[in-house]
Structure 1
Amino acid sequence: MQNRITQLFNIKYPIIQAGMVWNSGWRLASASSNTGILGLIGAGSMYPEVLREHIQKCKKATNKPFGVNVPMLYPNIQDIMNIIVEEDVKIVFTSAGNPKTWTSWLKNRGITVVHVVSSVKFALKAQEAGVDAVVAEGFEAGGHNGRDETTTLTLIPMVKEQIKIPLIAAGGIATGKAMLATMILGADGVQIGSRFVASDESSAHDAFKQVVVDAKEGDTQLTLKELAPVRLIKNKFYDDIQELYKKAPTVEELKNLLGRARAKKGMFEGDLVEGELEIGQIAGLIHDVKPVAKIVEDIIREFEEAKGILPKL
């Protein structure tokens, strides 16, 4: 299955395991890369030296390409970038910030750079900044998201129409059928997050993994747009946010409610009441926790089966 994405990253399948905070440590990244897709370590939840440890362990666990996802809204960004260079990581996905800030710096050091966007406007800005590819993420996705609530089905063809660099689809993709659908719409590959949260190798707490498996349609909602839009499982913390919104809160009041380490409390420590539980809408189609190798095998098998149906349509 060779195309622009497999060639760009030197991988077997055009699939990227998303770098998600508190879910994507070295175990998930290395297990993903070992299947022939691109594994990503999520640096957003790591202090610089913790990231270094994860990179070093990932190198020992796989001889395949892997990368690091760096949300640029977090502190210690210079330290994180320095460690990525020192540890000779060759692929970086940036998000939640201006791609011009780091793209040239990284590319001048021999690193392939991909930027995550939620609109055509930002896809064009990323291309102008010199990135090697973009991830266009629809608002179905979990975690930090776009304010415009543009769906993946709409976003992918609109971005494809405007850019020349490789395009990776994200948001609401957990199956081979969804992978094929987005590639028919113009994507060269897909980035998958939520499905890999519910894997044996994910660093998410087992209680959070079970919540993902139990989730049904309508159990998630995009909120906190005034800070950074995030899709959450509806729990007590989510209900507290909605109660605060009834009072037309200031940004400062929203920040006070969010506090510190709320995502760690929910996804990593398993506090299902007060924690921030980030997951995509596709959780309603995730029914089990299983090894990464089995997840990838199922996606590729379904992708090939779906291709076989197309002539009959």
Structure 2
Amino acid sequence: MKTRITELLGIRYPIIQGGMQWVALSPLVAAVSNAGGLGVLTALTQPSPEDLRKEIQKTQALTSAPFAVNLTFLPAQNKPPYDEFIDVIIESGIRIVETAGNNPREYMGRLHQGGVKVIHKCTSVRHALSAQKIGVDAVSIDGFECAGHPGEDDVPGLVLIPAAVKVLDIPVVASGGIATGAGMAAALALGAEGVNMGTRFLATMEAPVHDDLKQALVNAKETDTQLVLRSLNNTSRALQSSVTQEVVDMERRAGGCQFEDLRHLVTGQRGKAALQSGNIDDAVIATGQCVGLIDDVPTCQELIDRMVRDCRAAFARGTGLFLS
């Protein structure tokens, strides 16, 4: 396949693996890249910049194909050593970075000077325009269906993707709600030049999470996710569980609640433990609505091959609708 995204990133297929916290480690990342997509390591999964360097080296030992590093910019009071992470990224020869969270403006110069292409993840057209203005090379636009943080505008991909494409000059990657080749074809038909998938890659053989969690994703329906932290304007979508229900109940109680009331339920360490134990009722586990489209746990190679094949078939069916 050939799009501006495959050309920009040097990959065979315009399929990008989401930078999932605690999950985007070398075995998964290398498997995605070896299959022709773009694997993405998550920097902040690593305890320190030096740990990131080691994880990059592990990945490089497993693949010669391009892969990226996700760097999520957190509020100032929780600021990790970003300059040191960027030093490691550049020194390790990484040429693609996915940024997320806060605006990456102050780091753009260093990244570009280091020969790094930057994809910024956005949840709205206005944020995508701001990202284009500061010089990112592409944007990944997250629809309301996505896992994790969908923003506060509640605009699904069917509207958000073409709305972004209409006003942007740089390539758009569609993110949220995509788990099949038909979904990929739909995103490309709407003007996207690539797709980003997190939840679907969570249910693969190489994802470093418990098999019980993968089976829970296979069993789940499209209605089995829940929005939490809405009352705090920090909405997140997760797999429905006793913990997510407890969070929602606390948010709905008279007088509402503060984040400190919920911290023990939504802590990242609790989520990490649940990914390893497979007990979905132990934590808030980020999951998109596309979970209802997941029917198996393939290898990354099998998944990407199938998606490309089914994408081609979907376009062929569409062409066949027109009378000669």
Distance in 2, Cα, partners of 1:101 & 1:223: 31
Change in 2 beyond 3 A, CA 1:50/1:276: farther
Distance in 2, Cα, partners of 1:38 & 1:203: 17
Distance in 1, Cα, partners of 2:8 & 2:263: 39
Q: Return the TM-score normalized by structure 1.
A: 0.95
Distance in 2, Cα, partners of 1:33 & 1:10: 11
Structure-1 residue corresponding to 2:131: 126
Structure-2 residue corresponding to 1:273: 281
1:13-61 superposed Cα distances (whole Å, 9 cap, x missing partner): 1111111112211111111111111111122322123322211011111
Distance in 1, Cα, partners of 2:55 & 2:196: 21
Say whether the 8 Å CA contact 1:104–1:129 is kept in structure 2: no
Structure-2 residue corresponding to 1:30: 30
1:214-238 superposed Cα distances (whole Å, 9 cap, x missing partner): 1112110222132632211111111
Say whether the 8 Å CA contact 2:229–2:251 is kept in structure 1: no
Say whether the 8 Å CA contact 2:265–2:284 is kept in structure 1: no
SS of equivalent to 2:98:
strand
Structure-2 residue corresponding to 1:264: 272
Distance in 2, Cα, partners of 1:121 & 1:130: 15
Distance in 1, Cα, partners of 2:82 & 2:278: 27
1:310 aligns with 2:314: no
Name the stretch that deviates more: 172-181 or 271-280.
Answer: 271-280
Distance in 1, Cα, partners of 2:268 & 2:208: 20
C-alpha deviation, 1:267, in angstroms: 2.2
Which amino acid letter does the alignment assign opposite residue 50 of structure 1?
Answer: D
Change in 2 beyond 3 A, CA 1:132/1:24: same
1:194 aligns with 2:202: no
1:153 aligns with 2:161: no
Structure-2 residue corresponding to 1:59: 60
Structure-1 residue corresponding to 2:70: 69
C-alpha deviation, 1:256, in angstroms: 4.7
Structure-2 residue corresponding to 1:235: 241
Say whether the 8 Å CA contact 1:222–1:230 is kept in structure 2: yes
Say whether the 8 Å CA contact 2:179–2:200 is kept in structure 1: yes
Aligned counterpart in structure 2 of residue 300 of structure 1, from 308, 313, 316:
308
C-alpha deviation, 1:82, in angstroms: 2.1
Distance in 2, Cα, partners of 1:83 & 1:7: 25
Say whether the 8 Å CA contact 1:208–1:277 is kept in structure 2: no
Structure-1 residue corresponding to 2:120: 115
Distance in 2, Cα, partners of 1:228 & 1:94: 18
C-alpha deviation, 1:204, in angstroms: 2.0
Which amino acid letter does the alignment assign opposite residue 245 of structure 1?
Answer: E
Distance in 1, Cα, partners of 2:36 & 2:69: 17
Distance in 2, Cα, partners of 1:101 & 1:133: 17
Which amino acid letter does the alignment assign opposite residue 64 of structure 1?
Answer: A
SS of equivalent to 1:204:
coil
SS of equivalent to 1:165:
coil
Structure 2 unaligned blocks of 5 or more: none
Aligned counterpart in structure 2 of residue 289 of structure 1, from 271, 287, 297:
297
Change in 2 beyond 3 A, CA 1:228/1:54: farther
SS of equivalent to 1:273:
helix
Structure 1 unaligned blocks of 5 or more: none
* C-alpha RMSD of matched pairs (Å): 1.5
Q: Return the TM-score normalized by structure 2.
A: 0.92
Say whether the 8 Å CA contact 1:104–1:130 is kept in structure 2: no
Distance in 2, Cα, partners of 1:120 & 1:288: 34
Distance in 1, Cα, partners of 2:116 & 2:12: 20
Alignment of 1:155-234 (within 5 A): 155-225=160-230, 226=232, 228-234=234-240
Structure-1 residue corresponding to 2:252: 246
1:99-138 superposed Cα distances (whole Å, 9 cap, x missing partner): 2132222111111111000100000010011000000010
SS of equivalent to 1:261:
helix
C-alpha deviation, 1:76, in angstroms: 3.3
Distance in 1, Cα, partners of 2:143 & 2:107: 24
